[in-house]
Structure 1
């Protein structure tokens, strides 16, 4: 997606309200190789609390495996337990077109919507440097909006 002179990610007057991905992204990344068993991805996600794993082949990022895709696969009951144990990460890897570090929050939101995903990978040149999730976008938006005067939260 181009954000060059022909089309800005946001109108000039709102660029300050559309922060760069570098202000939102998580830079401590956990990745996995495409040939890893799916069970390894599940254990890694469960023990670390991450929901998205970049899938790496050497220095190159092949895509991302999402927790939701693994859950759908398991819920479908695809094959016997032995057959499921033989599944590798590459079979559930979503190919992705990462966004450059110069991209903005609005670029990430549009990409997530277009790809029906809840995360985008961020690159500096060819190097994977971060991930932005839908949660990161919501947090960012919440930090720039102030609650209405007199509004109180509801206790549950």
Structure 2
């Protein structure tokens, strides 16, 4: 993990905590769900990322692009079960609730992803996406 550099107190407002920007209302799915169900859930709720939850444990994130790409190329064969959410679930980096917006931006960049999970131990608190970062920039907040 990259060491965190403390910012002087007067700059903290320019780098809000991830909890101020994350999506708190989590729309999630289980790993055994059908991919078509996942895509309909994403469309119904206007989200592009679904945390994949098994009980109380978050396994990762399902991306809309992965689901659409697979479903566009799948020709169902008789007797072959359709792929499930768990097969496409990606590991997602996690940040603690004390992390800052700049931490989320650096983590997304370093890992080549467009979302990070905000967790408190095993408990999923929210998700921060590239869209959240763009909204923050448009509002005048600048991640460093």
Under a length normalisation based on structure 2, what TM-score does the superposition of the two structures give?
0.85
Counterpart Cα distance in 2 of 1:133 and 1:32:
17
Secondary structure in 2 aligned to 1:87? coil
Match of 2:26 in 1: 29
> What RMSD in Å do the two structures reach over aligned CA positions?
2.1
Larger radius of gyration: 1
Quote the offset at 1:21 in angstroms: 0.2
Classify 1:133/1:102 alpha carbon distance in 2 versus 1 (closer, same or farther; 3 Å).
same
Contact 1:38 1:85 in 2 (8 A): no
Please state if 1:56 is matched with 2:45. Answer: no
Please state if 1:141 is matched with 2:137. Answer: yes
Match of 2:102 in 1: 106
Match of 2:69 in 1: 72
Classify 1:82/1:43 alpha carbon distance in 2 versus 1 (closer, same or farther; 3 Å).
farther
Quote the offset at 1:2 in angstroms: 5.2
Contact 1:54 1:61 in 2 (8 A): yes
Contact 2:116 2:129 in 1 (8 A): yes
Under a length normalisation based on structure 1, what TM-score does the superposition of the two structures give?
0.79
Please state if 1:20 is matched with 2:30. Answer: no
Quote the offset at 1:115 in angstroms: 2.5
Counterpart Cα distance in 1 of 2:65 and 2:81:
18
Match of 1:117 in 2: 113
Count the aligned residue pairs. Answer: 139
Classify 1:116/1:69 alpha carbon distance in 2 versus 1 (closer, same or farther; 3 Å).
farther
Counterpart Cα distance in 2 of 1:23 and 1:82:
46
Unaligned residue ranges in structure 2 (runs of 5+): none
Contact 2:33 2:84 in 1 (8 A): yes
Unaligned residue ranges in structure 1 (runs of 5+): 146-156
